[in-house]
Structure 1
Amino acid sequence: MKVKHLLAGAALAALCTTAAAAQEVTLRLAHWLPPTHPVQTLGIEPWIASLKEASGGRIDVQIFPAQQLGAAPDHYDMARDGIADITYTNPGYQAGRFPIYSLIEIPFHMDNAPRGAKAMHEWYAPLAETEMSDVMFCMANPHDPGTFHSKAPILEPGDVSGLNVRPAHATMARFVSMLGGGPVQVPAPEAREAIANGAADAMTFPWNSIWIFGIDSELKQHLDMPFYVSAQLMLINKDTYNGMADDLKAVLDSHCTPEWSQKFSEGWAENEASGRDKALAEGSGHTVNVPTEEQVQMWKEAAAPLVDTWKSEAGADAEAIYQGYLDALDANDARF
């Protein structure tokens, strides 16, 4: 009888092992962009296809775009709470919540999105546990460096004074305030409405997003100076990850690397850069304003206090963390 029980136990264990090995999962991925946005078509969809291939079809991902599962600022909490298994999150939509992360929002640091994504991943992944411990960090995805787009020309910091500006994130909102402007903080999907109804006179945005969100009919003056980025993060619910079979975890791990952050960011960066060419095209009705070297220096000096403010808010290790970011940018040839 004991032998039979042992054999039955062994058979059950083998059955469980086989079932675990054959586990299939469908993950819910939420983001707040239109489904036609290059982040989905050139980043998310190829990433999902690679996950599916690497798992032999056992990992599938269902996409919920355009804030279907929640508002853009809520996507971090949606990953934490399991409303979605994976979320594409802009931490800059929640001012002050992620002080270490906000370093990447300070102008004049990153000059290349794909290489910058790899640098950011290498720098931030070990730090994410300190301020994002209730989710799993997967990837970083900065956009191609953006600039000011406005109704009237903006060429130097003083031109922002008195304007209402839709900033890309909390750090840019602070910068606008420092320059004497009024921040109008709305997520990207709501930016056009803010411009069209007169609530904002200008905005900070990457180039082609002006066309993607239909803002090109409202803002026709552009500052030709790539000086800031907004970096989104791909985050995963911890319970979802922990509930996956070990071999599927390994597949997901292999798609949450610095190299994947770079690859994920390439298509969007190229697409955003094309917006500048649209503005420069003859007959476009748009004006691309090129600042002088003196004006560029004025912008750099105006932004410099943001670093000191960041250090005062980031904690005791701020100097080392800051140097680590610069080192990562240098190592990946992504420093401004």
Structure 2
Amino acid sequence: MRRLGYACFGWFVVAFCLLFLAGPVRSDEKVVKLRYATFSPPMSGLAALSDQWCKEVEKRSNGKVKISFHPGGSLAPANQSYEAAVRGITDISLSATQWTAGRFPMSELIHLPLGVKSAFQGTNLINAWFKEFKPKEFDDTKVLYLFASGPSHFMTLKQLSSINDLKGLKIRAAGDTSKIVAAMGAVPVSVPIGDAYEAFQRGICEGVLLSAETLKSFRWGDLLRGLQINDGIGAVNALMVVMNKKKWDSLPPDIQKIIEEVSQEWIERTGKGWDEIDKEATEYGESKGLKVVRISKEEESVTAQKVKPLLDAYVGNMKNLGLPGEETLKFAIDYIKAHP
């Protein structure tokens, strides 16, 4: 009986040791917890793409990375989202370069009326440009990937048939977009993107110059009734997903590799995805009464002449800053021609 007791006790000790050895996670396998902030509304297509990025990183890390996703500006307001990543308020941030005036001078190239025809084309352009010129303006964060919005359109409370109808209209615009608005004879109005819906309701703004995606993500399609497609503008917004530098440097090499691999894949996925989102949002707007008008080739040519001074001004401003404005503009124009 005593021998049986010793045997049972022995098996218990062995089992306990096995459980102890298998249970705790080694110190070098601690879960990395990251926070991801974006301005995109929770139910928007862009937020979905960002959330999918988070889930893919978690999946490939086999649970070594956990990312808490914070859409809708809940962790950092849109115009403070880049600085939030710099200061470590968030670990990862999705932001737009034009929300911080003067901070990304070379990136202003992407906002110019270059004649970009899709988010996919614009996304490939901005990443090719970044690889070619390696602008130092991003050096205070780790850039995970860049992408572009779909082409910006004038979307208005009333239907417009001609570019002449824009004259005097109060158009919500931010950063470099306001220069295009003014060049077309409209009046730029600075309103935070999250407040634009109310601004339309109250008549503070009579329209906006942005991609069609916003018709659905911000529900502007409930109010706006006109959308002008004007390839004479073809301006897109430059967006970025960046990480706090200290946080990036603290990550194990295998985790860094996973994040970079997923980010590289998300360049194409986001560019193509945005074009699909624009299409769906336009259809949403049309279901609410939006009328889409493509302006004539003659008016496209007039538009190109109206906005050309903005291209010249960019080159001049970059020259004053000692930056290669002429080279970057030529690079962009040549790239668009070679990759229609």
Cα deviation, residue 154, structure 1: 3.5
Q: Distance in 2 between matches of 1:213 and 1:147?
A: 15
TM-score (norm 2): 0.84
Deviations 1:11-55 (A, max 9, x none): xxxxxxx633x24211100011211111111x1122112211221
Q: Calculate percent identity across the aligned residue pairs.
A: 22
Counterpart in the other structure of 1:9: none
Cα deviation, residue 279, structure 1: 4.5
Q: Distance in 2 between matches of 1:274 and 1:252?
A: 29
Counterpart in the other structure of 2:275: 269
Whether the 8 Å CA contact 1:48–1:61 is kept in 2: the answer is yes
Change (3 A) 1:180 1:291: closer
Counterpart in the other structure of 1:219: 224
Question: Please, which moves more after superposition, 204-213 or 150-159?
Answer: 150-159
Q: 1:308 aligns with which of 308, 312, 319?
A: 312
Change (3 A) 1:89 1:303: same
| Secondary structure class of the residue paired with 1:256 | helix
Counterpart in the other structure of 2:193: 188
Q: Highest relative contact order (Cα 8 Å, sep 6+), 1 or 2? A: 1
Residue identity matched to 1:87: S
Question: Please, which moves more after superposition, 150-159 or 61-70?
Answer: 150-159
Equivalences for residues 97-136 of structure 1 within 5 A: 97-125=103-131, 127=133, 129-136=135-142
TM-score (norm 1): 0.85
How many corresponding residue pairs? 310
Equivalences for residues 249-264 of structure 1 within 5 A: 249-257=256-264, 259-264=265-270
Q: Distance in 1 between matches of 2:75 and 2:281?
A: 29
1:96 aligned onto 2:96: no
Cα deviation, residue 238, structure 1: 0.3
Q: Distance in 2 between matches of 1:208 and 1:154?
A: 19
| Secondary structure class of the residue paired with 1:111 | coil
1:200 aligned onto 2:208: no
Equivalences for residues 1-336 of structure 1 within 5 A: 19-20=27-28, 22-41=29-48, 43-125=49-131, 127=133, 129-167=135-173, 169-225=174-230, 227-257=234-264, 259-280=265-286, 284-315=288-319, 316-330=323-337, 333=339, 335=340
Whether the 8 Å CA contact 1:23–1:245 is kept in 2: the answer is no
Residue identity matched to 1:56: N
Cα deviation, residue 187, structure 1: 3.1
Cα deviation, residue 248, structure 1: 1.0
Change (3 A) 1:290 1:115: closer
Cα deviation, residue 117, structure 1: 1.2
| Secondary structure class of the residue paired with 1:62 | strand
Q: Distance in 2 between matches of 1:73 and 1:127?
A: 25
Whether the 8 Å CA contact 1:156–1:298 is kept in 2: the answer is no
Change (3 A) 1:279 1:215: closer
Q: Distance in 2 between matches of 1:125 and 1:181?
A: 36
Deviations 1:97-135 (A, max 9, x none): 211111111123321212431331121245454112111
Question: Please, which moves more after superposition, 296-305 or 105-114?
Answer: 105-114
Residue identity matched to 1:304: K
Cα RMSD after superposing both structures: 2.1
| Secondary structure class of the residue paired with 2:57 | helix
Structure 2 residues not aligned, in runs of 5+? 1-25
| Secondary structure class of the residue paired with 1:98 | coil
Whether the 8 Å CA contact 1:144–1:273 is kept in 2: the answer is no
Change (3 A) 1:186 1:126: farther
Q: Distance in 2 between matches of 1:265 and 1:285?
A: 27
Q: Distance in 2 between matches of 1:35 and 1:280?
A: 23
